[in-house]
Amino acid sequence: MPASTGRRSDVIDETVPRLVGPRPIPDKPSIAVLPFQNMSAGRKQEYFVDGMVEEIITALSRIRWLLVIARNSSFTYKGQAVDVRQVGRELGVRYVLEGSVRKSRNHVRISAQLIDAGSGAHLWADRFDGSLEEIFELEDQVASSVAGVIEPTLQAAEAARSVGRPTADLTAYDLYLRAHAMIWSSARQISEALPLLEQAIARDPCYGPALAWAGYCCFRLLLDGRSDDPAHRVKGLDFARRALEVAADDPGILANAAQALAYFGEDIDAMMALVDRALALNPNFARGWHVSGVLRMSAGQPDIAIAHVETSLRLSPRARVGTALAIIGEAHFLARRFDEAAPHLLLAIQEDPSLTVPYRYLAACYAHMGRLAEAREIVRRLRAISSVVIQDASFLRNAEQRELYLSGLRLAAAEI
Q: Which domain, by its residues, includes 367? A: 320-416
Contact 213, 179 (CB under 8 A): yes
Asked if the structure places residue 309 within a domain, the reply is no
- Number of domains making up the chain: 3
Same domain, 119 and 213: no
Look at residue 20 in the predicted model and tell me its pLDDT: 43
Does an H or E element contain 142, and which? helix 135-163
**Is residue 300 one of the residues assigned to a domain?**
no
Task: Select from 150, 181, 201 the last residue of a domain.
Answer: 150
Please tell me the predicted confidence (pLDDT) of residue 123: 86
Q: Are residue 145 and residue 21 in the same domain, yes or no?
A: yes
- Quick check: is 235 in a domain? yes
Q: Using the 8-state DSSP alphabet, how is residue 24 labeled?
A: P
Q: What is the pLDDT of residues 140-154, one digit of tens each?
A: 777 777 777 777 777
- The verdict on residue 308 lying in a domain is no
Nearest partner of 309 among 348, 273, 339, judged by Cα: 348
Dihedrals phi, psi of 368, to nearest 5 degrees = -70, -20
Q: Pick the last residue of a domain from 123, 150, 177.
A: 150
Give the integer Cα–Cα distance in Å for 363 and 371: 9
pLDDT at 357: 95
Final residue of a structural domain among 124, 150, 176: 150
Q: What pTM was estimated for this model as a whole?
A: 0.75
Q: What is the CATH number of the domain that holds 392?
A: 1.25.40.10
Q: Can you tell me the distance from the alpha carbon of 409 to that of 412, in angstroms, rounded to the nearest whole number?
A: 5
Regarding whether 145 and 28 lie in a shared domain, the answer is yes
| C-alpha count within 13 angstroms, C-beta hemisphere, residue 328 | 24
226 shares its domain with 250 = yes
Both 352 and 387 in one domain: the answer is yes
Is the distance from CB of 117 to CB of 93 less than 8 angstroms? yes
Which portions of the chain are predicted below pLDDT 70? 1-24, 26-27, 42-45, 132, 135-136, 159-170, 317-322, 415-416
Of the candidates 390, 393, 227, 213, the residue with the CA atom closest to the CA atom of residue 298: 393
Question: CA-to-CA distance for 113 and 37, rounded, in angstroms?
Answer: 12
Residue 264: alpha-carbon gap to chain centroid? 22
pLDDT at res. 182: 85
Residues 83 and 171 in one domain: no
302 falls within a domain: no
CB 110 within 8 A of CB 99: yes
Query: What is the per-residue pLDDT for 275?
Result: 97
Helix (H), strand (E) at residue 177: helix 172-185
Cβ atoms < 10 Å from Cβ of 231: 9
Q: Which residue intervals of 30-134 are DSSP H helices?
A: 46-61, 71-74, 84-91
Q: Which residues contact 227 (CB under 8 A, 6 or more apart)?
A: 191, 221
Q: Are residues 335 and 407 in the same domain?
A: yes
Inside any domain, residue 295: no
Residue 314 lies in a domain: no
